[in-house]
């Protein structure tokens, strides 16, 4: 699924919200239980499930981890998400595309959902359209991030310092530092991005 053929934003919000609710109910998990395990508020989760709000990639990743599914399972590409493996290898035809429809960002997951690693490691190819951004506000969360710009230009802000990165430039920083990015150029930017975080402790059933 490419950025140009996704459903309208409101439709996509509803699709993702419905998938999120169905997965939660299938695991006999209440909204409060999901909130407790994810660190997100009940109100915010309720808005997401009803399609009244859009989730960031980080929020979707946290929710997917709590629900014990690959993040692709929250998106319309059902067949591909269903084949997303829990093992050491991810084939090219098994990749899931994550389309952040309101922010001009697409992310193609490049690594499998391998649950036997000590850390949660996710590598993806990020494509930021012109004006694409992680958001107006900076983010902070656990873990570390690193990446390499393949094409185009990306403005990366870390702790208030702004870095303009071009093809061939790399980066690495603690996710605990306030950060955000924007593609302020006229052409799409392609970046290999890696997120690494501590694996959450297994939760109890229900809640």
The correct CATH number of 1-87 out of 3.40.50.300, 1.10.260.40, 1.10.10.10, 1.10.3210.10 is 1.10.260.40
Do the two domains 1-87 and 117-201 of this chain adopt the same fold?
Answer: no
How would residue 205 be classed by pLDDT, with cut points 50, 70 and 90? Answer: very low
d(CA 145, CA 125): 13
Average pLDDT of the segment spanning 44-66: 85
Predicted local confidence at residue 79, as pLDDT: 41
User: pLDDT (tens digit, 9 = 90+) per residue, 143-178?
Assistant: 899 999 999 999 999 999 999 999 999 999 999 999
How would residue 200 be classed by pLDDT, with cut points 50, 70 and 90? Answer: low
Alpha helix (H) ranges present in the chain? Answer: 9-26, 31-38, 42-49, 57-67, 78-82
Question: Which among 178, 55, 32, 165 is positioned nearest to 105, based on CA atoms?
Answer: 55
- For residue 17, is pLDDT > 90? yes
Predicted local confidence at residue 72, as pLDDT: 72
User: pLDDT (tens digit, 9 = 90+) per residue, 69-99?
Assistant: 777 778 765 444 444 566 888 888 878 777 7
- For residue 58, is pLDDT > 80? no
User: What is the overall mean pLDDT for the chain?
Assistant: 84
What long-range pairs does 164-173 form, CB within 8 A, spacing at least 24? 170/146, 171/145, 171/146, 171/147, 172/144, 172/145, 172/146, 172/147, 173/144, 173/145, 173/146
Predicted local confidence at residue 84, as pLDDT: 55
Domain ranges in the chain are 1-87, 117-201
What is the pTM (predicted TM-score) of this model? 0.72
Q: Using CB atoms within 10 A of its CB, is residue 160 exposed (0-12), middle (13-18) or buried (19+)?
A: exposed
**117-201 is a CATH 3.40.50.300 domain:** no
């Amino acid at each position: 699924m490419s950025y140009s053929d996704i459903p309208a934003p409101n439709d996509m919000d509803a699709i993702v919200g419905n998938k999120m609710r169905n997965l939660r109910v299938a695991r006999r998990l209440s909204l409060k239980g999901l909130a407790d395990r994810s660190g997100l508020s009940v109100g915010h989760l309720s808005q997401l499930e009803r399609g009244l709000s859009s989730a960031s990639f980080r929020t979707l990743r946290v929710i997917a981890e709590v629900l014990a599914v690959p993040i692709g399972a929250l998106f319309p590409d059902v067949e591909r998400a269903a084949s997303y493996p829990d093992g050491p290898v991810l084939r090219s035809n098994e990749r899931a595309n994550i389309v952040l429809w309101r922010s001009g960002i697409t992310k193609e997951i490049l690594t499998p959902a391998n649950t036997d690693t000590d850390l949660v490691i996710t590598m993806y190819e990020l494509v930021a359209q012109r004006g694409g951004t992680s958001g107006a506000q900076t983010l902070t969360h656990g873990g570390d991030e690193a990446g390499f710009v393949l094409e185009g230009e990306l403005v990366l802000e870390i702790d208030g310092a702004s870095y303009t990165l071009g093809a061939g430039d790399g980066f690495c920083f603690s996710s605990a530092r306030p950060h955000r990015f924007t593609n302020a150029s006229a052409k799409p930017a392609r970046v290999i991005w890696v997120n690494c975080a501590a694996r959450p402790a297994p939760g109890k059933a229900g809640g």
